[in-house]
């Protein structure tokens, strides 16, 4: 990133976002993927030491964290100040082995979107026993990330029954609850893919990977999220917790409709 771009990204955008964030009445959402011991990579792998510093900051600040199960209460959805929703994509095994006990020790809650086909099958991913233990603890919520982890930007060749309903059925079989939260793999989606999920009438909340204000569409809430990168500075992390970057797409794509 050259100097000017860095100034704009790290200072100008979040400053504008801080002025306008009152327009966003929903809770701010951040996301991670895999947690690793050692060097991280982009938004996909976060070093455990950096992750711990970030979570200790959240705990020290007294920010309230939520599980998806709690989000059915409108009050929790709208905890814009003093609340944060921590999410993980895919269901990596590290989401149990590296952080479950640590998050318990800090009293922080988090949520995982499962790429359902991988769970209990691929050793890099969680097992259903781990998923159940985490869910029963009351500090980890679970949502769906499709069945096959497919790209839904175009719906050509996408089996919606499998990706939306079957994924939800398998989670229900294993956890005894119906998942109400859905996240697009690869952050890839379109107006048509959002329309199709709303029309299937399974999920109450849809999550993108875009820096957008969260919107309510026909009773389904579409959350923008802030991804935390593997070398995030604490200053940028704090802006992301406050949702100060959520103005970004609103500024750069003022006519965007999703």
96 or 247, CB closer to Zn ion?
Answer: 96
CA–CA–CA angle 251, 256, 258 (5° rounding): 125
The residues binding Zn ion (CB under 5 A) are 89-90, 185
Listed as own residue / partner, the contacts of 6-12 with beta carbons closer than 8 Å and 24 or more positions apart are 10/233, 10/235, 10/236
* Least distance (Å) between residue 186 CB and Zn ion: 6
Q: Is 73 exposed, middle or buried (0-12, 13-18, 19+ CB in 10 A)?
A: exposed
Q: For 84, list phi and psi in degrees, rounded to 5.
A: -150, 145
* Least distance (Å) between residue 162 CB and Zn ion: 16
99 or 112, CB closer to Zn ion?
Answer: 112
51 or 88, CB closer to Zn ion?
Answer: 88
* Least distance (Å) between residue 257 CB and Zn ion: 24
What single DSSP character describes residue 155? -
137 or 186, CB closer to Zn ion?
Answer: 186
Q: Which are the contacts of 221, defined by CB distance < 8 A and separation ≥ 6?
A: 26, 77, 204, 205, 206, 214, 215
* Least distance (Å) between residue 145 CB and Zn ion: 5
d(CA 178, CA 135): 13
d(CA 57, CA 243): 16
Alpha helices of the chain — where are they, by DSSP H? Answer: 3-7, 13-20, 48-61, 74-77, 94-97, 100-106, 128-137, 160, 167-175, 191-200, 234-241, 248-252
* Least distance (Å) between residue 193 CB and Zn ion: 15
Whether the CB-CB separation of 87 and 145 falls below 8 Å is answered with no
* Least distance (Å) between residue 4 CB and Zn ion: 32
90 or 181, CB closer to Zn ion?
Answer: 90
89 or 210, CB closer to Zn ion?
Answer: 89
């Amino acid at each position: 990133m050259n100097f000017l771009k860095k100034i704009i990204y790290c200072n100008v955008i979040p400053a504008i976002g801080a002025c306008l964030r009152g327009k966003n009445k929903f809770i701010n959402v951040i996301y991670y993927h895999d947690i690793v011991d050692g060097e991280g990579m982009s938004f996909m792998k976060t070093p455990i030491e950096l992750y711990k510093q970030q979570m200790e900051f959240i705990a020290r600040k007294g920010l309230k964290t939520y599980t998806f199960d709690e989000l059915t209460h409108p009050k929790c959805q709208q905890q814009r100040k003093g609340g944060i929703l921590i999410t993980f994509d895919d269901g990596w095994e590290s989401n149990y082995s590296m952080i479950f006990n640590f998050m318990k020790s800090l009293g922080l809650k988090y949520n995982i979107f499962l790429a359902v086909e991988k769970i209990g099958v691929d050793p890099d991913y969680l097992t259903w026993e781990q998923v159940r233990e985490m869910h029963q603890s009351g500090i980890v919520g679970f949502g769906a990330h499709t069945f096959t982890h497919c790209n839904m930007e175009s719906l050509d060749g996408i089996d919606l029954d499998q990706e939306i309903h079957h994924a939800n059925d398998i989670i229900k079989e294993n956890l005894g609850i119906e998942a109400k939260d859905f996240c697009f793999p690869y952050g890839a989606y379109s107006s048509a893919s959002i329309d199709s999920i709303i029309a299937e009438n399974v999920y109450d909340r849809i999550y993108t990977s875009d820096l957008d204000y969260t919107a309510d569409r026909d009773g389904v809430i579409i959350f923008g999220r802030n991804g935390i990168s593997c070398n995030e500075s604490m200053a940028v992390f704090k802006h992301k917790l406050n949702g100060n970057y959520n103005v970004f797409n609103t500024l750069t794509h003022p006519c965007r409709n999703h």
